A and B are shown apart, each in its own frame.
Chain A
Amino acid sequence: MSMIDVKVAAVEQVTPLVKHFTFVRQDGLAFPAFSGGSHVVVSMNVGGRVFRNPYSLMGSPADTSAYHISVRKQEHSRGGSLFMHESIEVGSSLQITYPVNLFALAKKAHKHILIAGGIGITPFMSQLFDLHRLNANFELHYAYRSPEHGAFADQLKASYGSQLRCYTDSQGGRIDLLALLSKQPLGTHVYVCGPNPMVVAVIETAKNLGWPDNTIHSEQFLSPGVGEPFKIHLKKSEIEVHVPADMSMLEAIELAGVEADYLCRGGVCGRCEVDVLESDGALLHHDHFLTDAEKASGKKIMPCVSRARCQKLVLDL
């Protein structure tokens, strides 16, 4: 996979939990332009163990001199976000992938409703530039816990005042999804990024109101999470791999020296999908990619976020 070597040019504490990082290229060249909603996977070497986490690119997609990401310190971080917060400083070196967009704007939409919860604001921070540049009709609805957790809210108010509505939970602010989504004109698309209950609520509300599936967009990167350790057998490589409690299957497979396909590493893109040849227990599917029927069939698994509870699991790798 093609990677870009970057250097951290600036670090800014945006809220008590969110830090903003500015990257420039080590080789001094320009980054590629990108499309609003894109993310990169940041590769971090934490004491010999490699973490690869996806983060949305922020800022203007036309600015090729620097890339920007924001990282929320996760309460139950396995190491990635904690490392970014505590060990990365100006001058640090990292590797990132080329931008990938799994949360693209629908260019033919007549109107765009963007709904962000907390750190879920990040993909919209680049989409807003595209929407503004394209003179699109849009509204941003941004909900956060309390005033000090509203990352970039002031900046957004200054740039998009009339198109922005903020909802502060500690002050009783709530998005009335039913009211919001039931009064939209035909050809409106809705985009949501935020905590799982919010994403589910937006999708369910829109579906119940009869919005076509292709007008509902969401992005929710999952972190691999922690679970019980288990063992897998890789058929083609003819090896056993132990998956420790705090490691994903994909990470364990890579650590064993087996090259596996991946893209987002957050259960969204489908690239790391692998065939399950045999299993004698339960597959714990955590991804957003496989359909319910595929999950139930037990024939496929996404090793980036999913786990298993079984004695025997044979993968086609």
Chain B
Amino acid sequence: MPLAFKKETFRDNYDYSNSQDAIKRFPFPFAEDQYMYSVNIEPHVKGKPGSVCEFAFDVDEHYVGECLDKQITLDLDRGRYAVLPHMMDAQWDFVELTMEALANDYPEHFSLKKDGLNWTWENKPLNIKHSFVFGDASTMPMDPFEYMSRQVQGDFVLLDQRDDTLYADGGFVTSQADWSLAFDVGMSWREWHAPVPRATELGVMDRALKYLMNIQLGSPVRRLNWTMTVNPRLDTSPENYPLWGTDRNTVNPENIEDKIHLRVELQSLFRLPRSNGIVFSIRCYLISLKELATYPRWAKRLHRVQKTMHPDLVEYKGMTKFHPMMVEWLSQFDDGETLSVGTQPE
């Protein structure tokens, strides 16, 4: 079925919603009644038709709106894009990966024609057509990595693997859950994960690093991460905290179902061929409590998960202000029914 792209805003008047189809395919992350921080990585293999994991990079009804929002955020702050000079091979790896995936998986919207190193890329939804020489940055209107990061939903971090660890040596980050590219660029794995509570003690980060460094070409992996966000805002960056931080004070029992959104990140990691680097893709999905509660099973599950959340995590995820009110609102759906393990809506 061809996608109908919606006109949306992720700031100011927040003109954003999910269609029935989008709600049904939402990547709900809680399979059990209690949440425990874990690495929960699995192979990023082809998922069920219609699911967010059907393809390597999911394109959905929010595509055009999100790409526009990326551009606004980047125009306001060029610091959201950064890449170190030794990452040029990784930039081209990223171009190849994303162009091939989109053209192959969504042929009605994207096309890629190759004649040796002479490539022509067409992006119909964004009305872009460009011919260039693969590997020759002078034939691109901007950095190759920036060019394609603007045309794929989500944030992207380029990781360099050296000295037995991973370094965040490039990124295009405009929809982050309160972390800063300008602050983290050039950092090693251990440095940028230092703030995660309880994970370092559990040894989770060391095990995850070992696993990631072994990611193989042709065998990408994925995991889900989540938080709660007030308003459907993609750019919840520390740089713009003054613009969204106080939104937490606007939540009340009347508007909570429209204001509070479950924010799920589909994080995927791909080994890159020429650079031996890794691209970390962080795709953000937003759903309001009201939309989510159209499936009672999800509302019950989220109620139990939030009710038993460790206070450190409530604080880390920035939910302290509205957490009790949210648990109270969700409780109206929870009749105590035993829920089987699994994330399905029904």
Contact = CB atoms under 8 A, between A and B. Distances in A.
B162 A263 contact: no
Given A108-B162, A214-B162, A98 B218 contact: yes
Interface stretch (A31-39, A80-88, A176-184, A218-226): A31-39
A14 interface: no
A130 B210 CA distance: 26
Nearest to B218: A98
Interface string B255-291: 0000000000000000001111000000000000000
B21 interface: no
B104 interface: no
B219 interface: yes
Interface in B183-235: 210, 214, 216-219
A62 B136 CA distance: 14
A255 B217 CA distance: 26
Contacts of A299: none
Interface string A1-22: 1100000000000000000000
A61 interface: yes
B162 A106 contact: yes
A100 interface: yes
B160 interface: yes
Interface residues of B, number: 21
A183 to B, nearest CB: 24
B123 interface: no
A107 B87 CA distance: 8
Interface in A139-158: none
Contacts of A263: 214, 216
B9 interface: no
Given A2-B218, A98-B217, A100-B217, A33 B210 contact: no
Contact of A108 (B86, B210, B274): B86
B273 A107 contact: no
A317 interface: no
Interface string B84-120: 0011010001001000000000000000000000000
Contacts of A33: 93, 96, 273-274
A246 B290 CA distance: 65
A35 B92 CA distance: 13
A303 interface: no
Contacts of A1: 219
Contacts of A34: 217, 273-274
B162 A107 contact: yes
A2 B86 contact: no
Contacts of A107: 86-87, 160, 162, 275
Contacts of B87: 107
Given A104-B162, A263-B214, A271-B214, A98 B276 contact: no
A35 to B, nearest CB: 4
Nearest to A2: B218
B217 A99 contact: yes
Contact of A35 (B164, B210, B218, B273): B273
A2 B162 CA distance: 25
Contacts, number: 54
A269 interface: yes
A188 interface: no
B274 A35 contact: yes
Contacts of B162: 104, 106-108, 214
A104 B161 contact: yes
A101 interface: yes
B163 interface: yes
A263 B96 CA distance: 25
A104 B275 CA distance: 9
B212 to A, nearest CB: 13
B214 A269 contact: yes
Interface in A47-103: 61-62, 97-101
Contacts of B210: 270
Nearest to B114: A30
Query: Which of A33, A38, A269 has the most chain B CB within a 10 Å cutoff?
Result: A33
A106 B217 CA distance: 19
A270 B213 CA distance: 11
B273 A99 contact: yes
B214 A32 contact: no
Query: Which of B87, B89, B93, B217 has the most chain A CB within a 10 Å cutoff?
Result: B217
Given A33-B274, A107-B162, A100 B218 contact: no
Nearest to B134: A62
B274 A214 contact: no
Query: Which of B135, B164, B216 has the most chain A CB within a 10 Å cutoff?
Result: B216
Interface string A256-291: 000000010000011100000000000000000000
Contact of B219 (A38, A98, A106, A269): A98
B169 to A, nearest CB: 9
A61 B274 contact: yes
A104 B210 CA distance: 17
Given A2-B218, A104-B162, A107-B86, 6 more contacts: A2-B216, A32-B273, A35-B274, A99-B217, A269-B214, A270-B210
18 contacts: A2-B216, A33-B96, A33-B273, A33-B274, A34-B273, A35-B89, A35-B276, A61-B274, A97-B216, A98-B219, A100-B216, A100-B217, A104-B162, A107-B162, A214-B162, A214-B164, A263-B214, A270-B214
Interface of B: 86-87, 89, 93, 96, 135, 160-164, 210, 214, 216-219, 273-276
